[in-house]
Amino acid sequence: MGYALLAAAIAAEVAGTTAMKYSDGFSRLWPSLGTAAGYLIAFALLARTLKAMEMGTAYAIWAGVGTAAVAAIGTVFLGEPAGLAKVAGIALVILGVVLLNLGGAH
């Protein structure tokens, strides 16, 4: 159950961050509300996740996977450049999350 809640928290955080891109500095109502809702849901789900998982592991996965997903969305859907350093950074984040899980996320 912890991983399902964590996945939902990550999805909400990624949605909130993506909405922030379209909020135009919080000057557009609906994307701004989407940002607030995404982060509110993300933090509520992360708090629930912490009842079932270790805090360090859960937060590292939440932050790492969210960061990698937002970077990928920026590259694939928003036309942001994908240089070697960016791709390597995303790969290292994913590798770090995998290593955390292998090292005791149970």
Q: Tell me: the pLDDT tens digits for 1-14?
A: 899 999 999 999 99
Lowest mean pLDDT among 15-19, 29-33, 34-38, 83-87: 83-87
In the predicted model, what is the mean pLDDT of residues 65-82? Answer: 93
Containing structural domain, residue 45: 2-102
**More confidently predicted of 97 and 12:** 12
Distance of CA 88 to the CA centre of its chain: 18
CA angle at residue 95 from 10 to 14, to 5 degrees? 20
How many domains does the chain divide into?
1
